[in-house]
Structures are given as structure tokens and as C-alpha cells.
Amino acid sequence: MNQRWRQIALWVLPIGVALLLGWQVLGNGGLQALNPNSGPTVAPRNAAVGRMSYGRFLDYVEAGRITAVDIYDGGRNAVVEAVDPEIDNRVQRLRVDLPGLAPELINTLKQEGISFDIHPPRTAPPALGLLGNLLFPLLLIGSLIFLARRGNGMPGGPGQAMQFGKTKARFAMEADTGVKFDDVAGVSEAKQDLQEVVTFLKQPERFTSVGARIPKGVLLVGPPGTGKTLLAKAIAGEAGVPFFSLSGSEFVEMFVGVGASRVRDLFKRAKENSPCLIFIDEIDAVGRQRGAGIGGGNDEREQTLNQLLTEMDGFEGNSGIIILAATNRPDVLDSALMRPGRFDRQVTVDAPDIKGRLSILEVHARNKKLAEDLTLESIARRTPGFTGADLANLLNEAAILTARRRKETIGLGEIDDAVDRIIAGMEGQPLTDGRSKRLIAYHEVGHALVGTLVKAHDPVQKVTLIPRGQAQGLTWFSPDEEQMLVSRAQLKARIMGALGGRAAEDVVFGYEEVTTGAGGDIQQVASMARQMVTRFGMSDLGPIALEGGGQEVFLGRDLMTRSDVSDSIAKQIDEQVRDMVKRCYAETVELVAQHREAMDHLVERLIEIETMDGDEFRALVSEFTAIPEKERTEAVLNN
């Protein structure tokens, strides 16, 4: 339809312009309408060969040197025959610009006995004049229709103004997303719940025969990158029913009432195609708690949410329509939206464990060429805390590095470099300044040495002096895979490990030479110590929660942060945090000072090779002192 209208416009506009110009030409005396200075179009005899001023023309009339006058254009132009005595009294035809057809000029010509003739201007036929008068309005109306039609299929077109109240949902009778449940890995529990939804749609009699009711809504909850949208694509690909997909932000517009109208239009179309699925991504954009924010919140968003609540479980109800929504902020959703009857199921899609990461890697490694000595299990163990999106990005970055290095297969080196790039940023140029490089080496070795010598700390994975991102040097620790709960000893060990860099600078260079390199470490230490005191009850104040979860201002709870403790308790909290950090720092400095010889040897080796893995680091430390055995529970993939 839009293509047809564009073709019509391409034909109508040039023809209309041509007709308009033609009408002007015919209606204003031919070519003279285009160029008024070109003189009369038709001369009774020969064309004029020169020009004569109006004053000279009057002088010639009084002198009797004008023999004939032809007047054109209502008295604006004239062609005269004049006898010029300067060229042997020959007769010339000259053009004169007249001020108008004045009666005095006609009387003068009559008195002097000069022959004159008045030529009326040529006019266009009445039909052509009517067409010229209607041409511009017709072109204007046609252009408006074209723009209105154009808005239906072109986002952002002017015709969008006529489509404000219509839903922007993408519709597919049978969504060909190219994703099935076999392509989604690492979220087996979520897949099981969602497979039941697909079975509901395909074979409802299996459930209705025992009195089960089809769920009205399923809410996917989880951090970014865990596969919520991918699961929705898999459901669309498996269900084989009409599928609507849109984002929560597409409901809300600047004008009040537009979002509610789009909700009504969406469910109207869904009822016409039931049974069907509606997927709303980032539903927190429209489903946030009502009455939120300064001034009571946004009326447009609240009206949209009210209409959504009514459509999901109102007086009429919606049979055969399943709402699938995704969010990573379930804490901000309105309680009326979360209740059973609207979202009957809440499926948590969390970061995968080691088995989940292995299955995700198997999916994304289907089209990757891996080296023979590289196993997906080793990559899964190397990437604790990675989500499905992170793992996909990891293999893609490793493949890019492999192509850049002109290799045929992805090796362990490319995987390690890709992990480092994702976590810390792009690799920079190695340091060349001897003093700065040595200072950074002591700082990083301090972190790694304390983490190695403290029993409850996670093992060192890598130490490097190569800058990445904003950091001039980095030390990685690999956390315990099965570590779901963190003990007080582990938190204390992490504080000491974070303070190891500052302690090394203090011991080696002196208190006056410590640098700002430990700024991020100190912030991390302060956060962990305060949480131990206020949230986890790991201080002399006892097992008391002294700080609640603060509510954000936009939720409309409090316009200012409200303290949950008295001034005296707040003072005690500060004292406990300060004492805890001071004791940990003193122990860290003592530990570093006791193993100064080992640290100097490690620094020399690190400056030489710039990057040292955890095994080599521990081997060098073991030459000087015994390393405490880490209490770790190895993950078993077969369980």
C-alpha cells in the first residue's frame, strides 16, 4: 500500500507542477508570463528592434515622428513606428514601456492623427482556469493523504499522530524466532516451568481434565544477561500460536490516555487471535508502584498500569491469553500486578552454576573451532559468576582474538585474554618507568601474597603489571564455586587481601610514600566492614540489623534518607567499623613484614615476566614459607 502511494505521488507531483506552470503561461500572455522583459509575444508586423523611453516617445508624438502605435498588456507595453532623423528618416519599430492605458494618451494619439491599435491580453480557456484554481488544493490534499498513509508502515512518520492509540506490538501468527528450548541452556528449572505453559497452549485438555486452569501470566525475574528474553523467544518458537511482543516503554507516551488506549487495543487484538502469547519486556517501565515519586507520580503511567491490571484480571477476564513479562527490578513492581490471578507464576532466571555454564558453552561453541587441549569444562571453571550473555560474549571475543592472531583454533590463551578483557577492560601498553613499575609490582604482590597466606582467602589466579582499563596492575582471585554463604573469617580475609597493596607500600617505601593506588581497595574495605557490623551482626554490637534496606526516592517512600538508628548507635557503628579495619590492617602489615624476603623475590620475578599465573606464584611462595591449605569444595559436574 505505501509503495503504491509513493508511486502515485511521484507521478502526480511533476504533472501538477507542469499543469500549474502551463496555466500561468497561457493565462498571462504566453512566454511573457515567464519573462516579462521579453516584450510582446505577437507583433502585427515585424518585431521591435530597439527600445525607447516614455519621455522620448512623448517628444516624438509632439514632433509628429510617430506613425503607428500597437498597445499590449493593458497599456503596459507598446510597439511604435518612429521616423528617426538621425538615420535618414528611416522608420524603426521600437518598444516602449507605458505607465498604463491612460485616457490622456489615447486623446493625444487621436489629436495627432496617429494610427493606434489596442491588443487585448490572451486568456486561458475557462476549463483550464478552473483546473488551475483547483490544482493547488488537490495537491495539498493528496500530500496530506500520502503522509498519513506513510505513517502506517514507517516509524517516526507524520502519520504516527493518527496511530497514537494503536498498539506498537510486533505480531506474528507463528513466530519464527529461530530459537527453541534446546537452544536455551543453564536455566533448567525455568525451562521446566515454561514448557508447561507451551503444553497448556498445545494440549490444554491434559490439564483441564483434572480441573487445572491455564495460568494468566508468567513473570521472568533475574539479573541482566541471564536469558529472560531468550526464553521468551524459545516459547514463541515452540508454542506455534499467535505471538505479540513489545517493550513496556512502548505503552507510555507524553499524552495522557495514550498508554491505556494502547493496552486496550493490544488485548482487543489478542482476543481476536486467542489462544495467544503476549510478551512484555522490561515491564517495570509501566508496572512500577502507583503513587510513586514527588507529586504522586506520572498520571499517564498510572492510567496505563490501571488499564493493564483491568485487562489481565478484570470483570471480563481474558481466556486463552497468557502474558509473559520480564524484568530485572521486581522490587519496584506494583503489588497488584504481582498477585496470583495476574502473574500466577514468578520464574527466577539467575546466574548459572558450573553445570549451567558448561551447558551454555556447549550451545555457543557449536560454530566455534576449539583447540584440542581446550575443554569447555576448563572455561566453565574459569568463569564463575558469568551469565549466559557474558559467556556468549566471551567465546565471541576469543574468536575475534584468534582471527586477529591468524590462528586456526581458539586456544586457552585467547580464552584467558578474553576473560581479562571482559572483566578489566582492554589491554594497555606495558609500563616502562622503573620506579612506577616497581611500586605497582609491590602493590599487586602485596595483594596476592596476603591472599595466599591467609587461609580463608580465595586462591590467586593471576598477577599482572600490564595495564587494563583504568588499572595500572591487577590481581585476580578465583572464588570457590560452591560458596553460597560467606563466613566471618572469609570476610575478614577479603578485607586483609584488599589492604595487602597498601600494607606492602607502607612496609617497603614507608608511610610517607604510600600512593593513591589503594583508593578503590579502601572503599571496598569500608563497605565490607560496615555490612559486617550493620547487616550481618558480626561485631561486638551483637546480631542486630542496624540498617534496613533503604527505599529509593522514586518509589515515594521518603524524600530524604531516614536513619534507622539513634545518634549514639550510629557513633558505635562508626567505632566498630574503624576498629575492625584497624585490626585487619595491623595484621596485614605484620604478615607482609614477616615475609618481606619472599615479596622481594616475587617482585623481581613479576617485573621480569610482567604476568604470573596462580600456580607459579604459589610455587615461588612455597620456597620461602608453608602455604596454608585452602578450605574449598570442588564442584562435581556429574552430580
Catalytic residues: 444
Sign of the Cα torsion 429, 435, 437, 443 reads negative
Nearest to residue 421, comparing CAs of 396, 445, 452, 385?
Answer: 396
Long-range contacts of 586-593 (CB under 8 A, 24+ apart): 587/496, 588/450, 588/496, 588/499, 588/500, 588/503, 589/503, 589/506, 589/507, 591/450, 591/453, 591/454, 591/496, 591/503, 592/446, 592/449, 592/450, 592/500, 592/503, 592/504, 592/507, 593/507
CA distance 548 to 18: 77
Please tell me whether residue 289 adopts helix, strand or coil conformation: coil
> Edge-to-edge, what's the strand order for the sheet holding 115-118?
50-52, 90-97, 77-84, 66-72, 115-118
Q: What is the spatial distance between Cα 422 and Cα 188, in angstroms, rounded to a whole number?
A: 26
Q: List alpha helices for 425-487, DSSP H.
A: 434-453
DSSP string of 344-398? -EEEE-PPP-HHHHHHHHHHHTTT--B-TT--HHHHHHH-TT--HHHHHHHHHHH
Taking CA atoms, 194 is separated from 184, 248, 531, in Å, by 12, 21, 37
For the record, the C-alpha cell of 56 comes out as: 522620448
Q: 354-364 and 388-404 helices cross at what angle (nearest 10)?
A: 50
Residues 6+ positions from 556 with CB-CB distance below 8 Å: 289, 291, 292, 293, 294, 296, 297
Cis peptide leading into 155, omega within 30 of 0? Answer: no
**What angle (nearest 5°) sits at the alpha carbon of residue 331, between those of residues 313 and 553?**
115
Q: How far apart are CA 508 and CA 136, in angstroms?
A: 88
Task: Compute how many other C-beta atoms are within 10 angstroms of the C-beta atom of residue 311.
Answer: 23
Q: How far apart are CA 285 and CA 249, in angstroms?
A: 5
Residue 282's region, left for phi above 0, alpha for psi from -120 to 50, else beta, is left
- Closest C-alpha among 455, 525, 443, 447 to residue 489: 455
Q: Which among 445, 439, 606 is positioned nearest to 513, based on CA atoms?
A: 439
Phi, psi of 90 (to 5 degrees): -80, 155
The number of helices, as runs of H, and strands, as runs of E, in the chain is 20, 14
Instruction: Yes or no: say if 190 and 348 are a contact pair by the CB < 8 Å rule.
Output: yes
Burial class (CB in 10 A: 0-12, 13-18, 19+), 124: middle
3-state secondary structure of 197: helix
- Number of Cβ within 10 Å of residue 436's Cβ equals 12
Grid cell for residue 103? 485616457
